[in-house]
Chains A and B, each alone.
Chain A
Amino acid sequence: MRGRSQRFGDVALSLGTGLAAVLVLLIVAVILGDVIYHGAPRMTLAFLTQAPREGMTAGGIFPAIFGTVALVVLMTLAVLPAGVATAIYLSEYANPSARLTRLVRVAVNNLAGVPSIVFGLFGLGFFVQFVGAGIDRAFYGGERVFGQPALVWAALTMAVLTLPVVIVATEEALAAVPRELRLASAALGASRLQTIVRVVLPQALPGILTGAILAISRGAGEVAPILFTGVAYYLPKLPTSLHDQFMQLGYHVYVLSTQSPDVDATRPILYATVLVLLLLTFALNATAVVVRSKMRRRFAGAAS
């Protein structure tokens, strides 16, 4: 009796949890399958290199790809130095038990959980209306140049959004560098900065890169923060300066699926755009995974 009920319990529990796992796999398979099945036929070189035509029912998505890349590059230029420097400061310079340090850590941790739309609010209120309008008053005699949604503000908003990703990854990578390396370096007469630049950072580099790539992947996929800070539905020209607006892949997906006058005509383009966006973020994430596993191997190699 007891034996049978025990076996029943095991079967039930493994089946129940196994079913959950299978359902999760199924969800991913259905989403990817649907997107690939409908999106792949339309994905041609012309689609990737042409601008949209005839009210988005024909042509390609080149301006959206261009805008996404421009956004992500600018974002990376902003977030990488700031994030890495912050992590170095926090873990190598700041007094770890000081109240300010602890407060900053808590703030960084919680920033990671703040909804992306809140960053959009911040970007509009702070970068566009406060900094941008301030620049216009100071340098352009009140003419509206920077005081409106623009590429640079969207990139900076996205940089603030991805800041915790970079800081956390860098801090983790710095913490994984054995203390003995720092001590050995100091014992040889190296200063703190020399130790950081020559010993700690090279060891931590793969971890920092992983963080950077994850940040880029996040930046490439998020839409909510740029809704009011610079993205545009359709632009006849590519952005050429920091204060231009831009098109973006995620926003393109949003607009095509919610505001298309002719859903059936735009559907193939929509699916192909989704596929491009997915491939882009997956490629970035896969790179991060590869870099991370290389790092693990390197540390494992150093330890044995």
Chain B
Amino acid sequence: MTPRSEQPTTRRPEQAILVGLAPPTRSTLAGSGSLPVETSDPKNHRRAERPRLASRRPRFHALAEAAIRVLAFSSIAAIILIFVFIGKEAWPLLHDSAIGKEVTLAKMWFAQQWPGYDAPEHVWQPVSEIPKYAVWPLVVGTLKVTLIAMLFAVPLGVGAALFVSQYAGRRLREIIKPTVELLAGVPSVVLGFFALMVMATWLQQALGLDSRLNALVAGVALSFAIIPVIFTVSEEAFGAVPRSYVEASTALGAARWQTIVRVVIPAAGPGVAAGIALGLGRAVGETMIVLMASGNAAILSVSPADSVRTVSATIAAELAEVVFGGAHYTVLFFLGVLLFGFTLATNLLGEFAIGRMRRRLGGMA
């Protein structure tokens, strides 16, 4: 969604420049769509037939424009409200003394000595006699699943994008691109279902794992959700590399693969990085897949064969049963702030990378 509206607006001035610089042959004039005479002519006629409109302008107009403003400002308010509201609900964690008795930020991030345990440990057990809110098991679980997902999604997504933009013929491209769009349209609950009902059994039989639902199953299923993100952004980036680069490289005697590795990939690098960053954000925040396929055990371990519980799945599994405004509620909103902050960072990173690539290619082309 992020590489967006600039395209049409930036393309048009370019065209105008091209038309202005190139010798004014018939073909360049006909090819540029933005000549005013041709496009606006039919509208002129329609407008000319109804001159009466002008007299009815003021009152109705003021009303309609006010309506546009009200709607626009309410949706802008909703957008800003989200940023504010999640933080507001997590805020008591920092200063509320009643909640502070049960949980503090320090208790969440440092190992605690709990009754019945031999050594200080990180435990996530919010619904027990002594609620324990250690976030490391959740954070490590999230990172583990995300890492596995990225290990699958990055080579597949970038590789397929490279294939489509460099090697595939038209017909293959017209098979692969819609198929990836199809995958992008699969609801994440369906991917979670597939991981839970089908893939978990296959992987368990193939690898002889102890627990059927584990970080590996969740990670692989999660990669299906982010392959389309990485593919789409990367493919756009490869496609945006100017033809002149490839032609120059070929003219210097480089083989196809040398051109791709030394010219196309470096030029499209920031765009591919943006795709990976966006995919990473999506992977960390994705909920239904991990909720269904990860086994949901908050164990602090690095083995991909263990069950895990992620930050997002924790919110999804526990929020329905918490007391409004209580410690658990506040902690879950704090987890929401963590997710929010992380995805915000990856998004901004992605946008920065795309902007950089635009500037770079724009400056050189």
Of residues A129, A258, A304, which shows the largest number of chain B Cβ atoms within 10 Å of its Cβ?
Answer: A258
Q: Which of A20, A31, A111, A113 interacts with B156 by CB under 8 Å?
A: A20
Interface presence of A75 (CB below 8 A): no
Per-residue CB proximity of B165-191 to A under 8 Å, as 1/0? 011100010011011111101111111
Q: Which residues of B contact A227 (CB under 8 A)?
A: 316, 319-320
Q: Are B189 and A193 in contact (CB under 8 A)?
A: no
Instruction: Mark out the residues of chain B between 157 and 214 whose CB falls within 8 Å of any chain A CB in the assembled complex.
Output: 157-160, 162-164, 166-168, 172, 175-176, 178-183, 185-194, 196-198
Interface presence of A135 (CB below 8 A): no
Q: Which of B181, B256, B292, B319 interacts with A10 by CB under 8 Å?
A: B256
Q: Are A27 and B320 in contact (CB under 8 A)?
A: no
Per-residue CB proximity of A248-276 to B under 8 Å, as 1/0? 00110110011000000001001000100
* Bound Cα distance A7, B256 (Å): 9
Kindly provide the distance from the CB of A106 to the nearest chain B CB, expressed in whole angstroms. 8
* Bound Cα distance A194, B89 (Å): 44
Q: Which of A86, A88, A118 interacts with B336 by CB under 8 Å?
A: A118
* Bound Cα distance A109, B347 (Å): 8
Interface size class, chain A? 35 or more
Q: Are A113 and B194 in contact (CB under 8 A)?
A: no
Q: Are A125 and B39 in contact (CB under 8 A)?
A: no
Q: Are B163 and A17 in contact (CB under 8 A)?
A: yes
Identify whether the interface residues of A are mostly helix, strand, loop, or mixed: helix
Binds A, one of B104-112, B124-132, B240-248, B280-288: B280-288
Q: Are A109 and B351 in contact (CB under 8 A)?
A: yes
Q: Are B43 and A199 in contact (CB under 8 A)?
A: yes
Q: Are A222 and B187 in contact (CB under 8 A)?
A: yes
Instruction: Mark out the residues of chain B between 45 and 68 whose CB falls within 8 Å of any chain A CB in the assembled complex.
Output: 46-48, 53-54, 57, 61, 64-65, 67-68
Q: Which residues of B contact A179 (CB under 8 A)?
A: 12, 34
Q: Are A178 and B34 in contact (CB under 8 A)?
A: yes
Instruction: Mark out the residues of chain A between 7 and 44 whose CB falls within 8 Å of any chain B CB in the assembled complex.
Output: 7, 9-10, 12-14, 16-21, 23-25, 27-28, 31-32, 34-35
Kindly provide the distance from the CB of B227 to the nearest chain A CB, expressed in whole angstroms. 6
Q: Which of B78, B175, B347 interacts with A113 by CB under 8 Å?
A: B347
Number of B residues with CB within 8 Å of any CB on chain A: 116
Contacts A113-B346, A171-B5; A9 near B71 (Cβ below 8 A): no
Kindly provide the distance from the CB of A17 to the nearest chain B CB, expressed in whole angstroms. 4
Q: Are A111 and B82 in contact (CB under 8 A)?
A: yes
Q: Which of A104, A228, A277 interacts with B187 by CB under 8 Å?
A: A277
Q: Are B44 and A25 in contact (CB under 8 A)?
A: no
Contacts A81-B71, A121-B319; A175 near B5 (Cβ below 8 A): yes
Q: Are B190 and A120 in contact (CB under 8 A)?
A: no
Q: Which residues of A contact B67 (CB under 8 A)?
A: 85
Q: Are B2 and A112 in contact (CB under 8 A)?
A: yes
The chain A residue sitting closest to B255, CB to CB, is A6
How many residue pairs between the two chains, A and B, have CB atoms under 8 Å in the bound complex? Answer: 326
Interface presence of A302 (CB below 8 A): yes
Q: Are B287 and A117 in contact (CB under 8 A)?
A: yes
Q: Are B163 and A274 in contact (CB under 8 A)?
A: no
Interface presence of A77 (CB below 8 A): no
Interface presence of B101 (CB below 8 A): no
Q: Which residues of A contact B191 (CB under 8 A)?
A: 31
Q: Which residues of B contact A119 (CB under 8 A)?
A: 82
Q: Which of B33, B75, B167 interacts with A18 by CB under 8 Å?
A: B167
Q: Are A120 and B319 in contact (CB under 8 A)?
A: yes
The chain A residue sitting closest to B220, CB to CB, is A27
Contacts A16-B159, A82-B75, A86-B72; A107 near B83 (Cβ below 8 A): yes
The chain A residue sitting closest to B324, CB to CB, is A129
Q: Are B224 and A27 in contact (CB under 8 A)?
A: yes
Instruction: Mark out the residues of chain B between 232 and 267 whose CB falls within 8 Å of any chain A CB in the assembled complex.
Output: 255-258, 260-261
Binds A, one of B114-122, B133-141, B337-345: B337-345
* Bound Cα distance A116, B315 (Å): 11
A-B contacts besides A86-B76, A114-B343, A184-B43, 19 pairs, CB < 8 Å: A17-B167, A20-B157, A34-B194, A35-B190, A85-B72, A86-B71, A86-B72, A89-B71, A110-B347, A115-B282, A115-B343, A117-B316, A125-B85, A125-B89, A125-B333, A168-B1, A172-B7, A223-B189, A250-B288
Provide a sorted-by-A list of 18 A–B residue pairs whose CB atoms are within 8 angstroms.
A10-B257, A20-B155, A21-B168, A27-B183, A85-B72, A109-B2, A111-B79, A113-B344, A114-B285, A160-B79, A178-B39, A180-B40, A188-B47, A193-B65, A221-B189, A254-B193, A267-B197, A277-B187
